[in-house]
Amino acid sequence: MISFSEKVFAAMKRIPKGKVSTYREIAKFIGKPNAFRAVGNTCNKNPNAPRVPCHRVVKSDGRVGGYAFGEKKKILLLQNEGIKVKKGRILNFEDCLLKTSEGR
């Protein structure tokens, strides 16, 4: 049986460069729609960052959210992938957002 963490990591690997998803979208994608906080905790413990791109998982309101290596590092990684961030928020958030239905 695949663990919760393995499901979260597999879902994160599906997010392409230049796109982001949300903790809530990842939770929905793995069939646990109310487990968005657990998704965040799993992202924080990702032993393979940035190869498993937890930096591409953000808050539902477009704020970048936390990152084990610091918010500034997360913003830098996103910007290096073409995502525009201003004052901790993703600009054109809806255009960058990979929704659950798109990732399948």
Instruction: Tell me the pLDDT band of 1, cut-offs 50, 70 and 90.
Output: confident
Report the C-alpha gap between 20 and 31 in whole angstroms. Answer: 19
Is 54 catalytic? The answer is yes
Q: What is the CATH number of domain 4-97?
A: 1.10.10.10
The reported pLDDT for the residue numbered 4 is 96
> In angstroms, rounded to a whole number, what is the distance separating the alpha carbons of residues 14 and 24?
15
Q: Which of 8, 12, 52, 54 is catalytic?
A: 54
Instruction: Considering only CA atoms, give the Rg of the chain.
Output: 12
- What are 54-103's pLDDT values in tens digits? 999 999 999 999 999 999 999 999 999 999 999 999 999 999 999 865 55
Q: What is the pLDDT of residues 33-45, one digit of tens each?
A: 999 999 999 999 9
